[in-house]
């Protein structure tokens, strides 16, 4: 790869959008669920498990991409600029995250007060200092949706701080670090399974996708035999691997997410993610190339905004439904709510990316080594 050639995995944009869909559906179904509508509630509970694959994927993908760029930086510059790394991460995360924080702590409470709706309690910012949020027991259904998103972004910020240190000082021990992280993630999930608590908000449980993401980046950079093996697989073999991987994604957490057997699920699915990245990037006999779908790839580029803004749009939509006294348990209103939420999320995220985020991303490039 030439010195000036940009390291970019084009197919990952489409994969980001595919991973966004379960998150969107879970948030919508959760807000529409009620005791009067058990079908929607059951669908929401099922999607709650399936969307955990998306969270694993985003941790995997971040680890993979950051590690890939760091390895390239070491190859061409013999060093890693930690300060520039943190500046780039901050400039990517903070603009949209700031909107989420404003909505959480100021805008939503103000709307509730102005409309004379049931008052809500606002979590203290100090709650975010700890590795596990302690405020979910005191919030409304609407608050839960955007607080989950806010907390998940905060988990990624924790990861970025930690991973910058790893890439700066422990790059030679990357495989050992990856093994340690996978083991930490396993122990974290075992603890939560035995204590009947959720691992979803425990950053340590993300050690599995983070560790495997680092492994895949190391394989692509240093293990040509593995890459060539996947590169020359037949379409029939790819079909079988995709069927097995999609089956694990659809059924793994759904049936085993709360059990000790569920510990195997992220090991299987994140390994599948690694295979997909290599297959989509290098395989000669792919069943399809995601990057050829321009619409999905475009959605993938704005996936961060889609995830954050959809929670805000849905909460505003619920407030509008209640204010207009519509019955959210009726199918027609539910369909309208889904279409409205997705359309508005798309429009807001696209505008945000073009007018707000991209100018900042252009500045971010000044802190990126060629």
pLDDT (tens, 9 = 90+) of the chain, 370 residues, equals: 344 444 556 678 899 999 999 999 999 999 998 877 888 999 999 999 999 999 999 999 999 999 999 999 999 999 999 999 999 999 999 999 999 999 998 999 999 988 887 777 776 666 656 555 555 556 788 888 998 999 899 999 999 999 999 999 999 999 999 999 999 999 999 999 999 888 988 999 999 999 999 999 999 999 999 999 999 999 999 999 999 999 999 999 999 988 899 999 999 999 999 999 999 989 999 888 888 888 898 899 999 999 999 999 999 999 999 888 898 889 999 999 999 999 999 999 999 999 999 898 888 666 666 5
Q: What is the pTM of this model?
A: 0.93
Long-range contacts of 284-292 (CB under 8 A, 24+ apart): 284/231, 284/232, 285/232, 285/233, 285/234, 285/235, 285/238, 286/235, 286/238, 287/235, 287/238, 287/239, 287/242, 289/11, 290/11, 290/14, 290/15, 290/18, 291/10, 291/11, 291/13, 291/14
Tokens 């009947």, located at residue = 196
Predicted pLDDT of residue 3: 41
What letter would DSSP give residue 302? T
Predicted pLDDT of residue 2: 40
């Amino acid at each position: 790869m030439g010195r000036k050639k940009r390291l970019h995995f084009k197919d990952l944009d489409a994969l980001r959008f595919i991973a966004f869909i379960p998150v969107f559906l879970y948030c919508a179904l959760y807000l529409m669920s009620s005791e009067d509508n058990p079908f929607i509630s059951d669908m929401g509970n099922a999607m709650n498990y399936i969307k955990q694959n998306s969270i694993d994927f985003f941790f995997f993908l971040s680890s993979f991409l950051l590690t890939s760029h760091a390895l390239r930086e070491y190859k061409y510059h013999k060093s890693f600029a930690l300060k520039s790394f943190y500046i780039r991460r901050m400039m990517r995360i903070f603009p949209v995250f700031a909107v989420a924080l404003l909505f959480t702590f100021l805008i939503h409470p103000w709307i509730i007060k102005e409309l004379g709706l049931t008052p809500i309690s606002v979590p203290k910012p100090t709650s975010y200092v700890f590795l596990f949020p302690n405020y979910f027991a005191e919030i409304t259904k609407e608050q839960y949706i955007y607080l989950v998103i806010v907390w998940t972004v905060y988990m990624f910020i924790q990861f970025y701080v930690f991973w910058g240190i790893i890439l700066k000082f422990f790059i030679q021990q990357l495989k050992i670090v990856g093994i340690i992280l996978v083991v930490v993630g396993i122990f974290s999930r075992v603890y939560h399974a035995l204590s009947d608590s959720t691992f979803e908000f425990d950053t340590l449980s993300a050690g599995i996708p983070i560790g495997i993401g680092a492994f895949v980046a190391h394989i692509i950079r240093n293990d040509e035999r593995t890459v060539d093996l996947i590169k020359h697989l037949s379409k029939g073999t790819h079909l079988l691997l995709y069927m097995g991987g999609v089956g694990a994604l659809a059924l793994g957490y759904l049936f085993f997410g709360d059990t000790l057997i569920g510990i195997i699920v992220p090991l299987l699915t994140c390994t599948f993610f690694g295979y997909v990245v290599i297959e989509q990037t290098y395989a000669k006999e792919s069943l399809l190339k995601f990057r050829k779908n321009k619409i999905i790839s475009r959605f993938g580029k704005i996936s961060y905004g889609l995830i954050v803004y959809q929670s805000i749009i849905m909460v505003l939509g619920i407030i509008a439904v209640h204010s207009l006294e519509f019955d959210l348990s009726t199918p027609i209103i539910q369909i309208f709510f889904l279409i409205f939420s997705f359309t508005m999320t798309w429009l807001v995220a696209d505008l945000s990316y073009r007018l707000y985020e991209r100018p900042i991303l252009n500045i971010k490039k000044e802190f990126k080594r060629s």
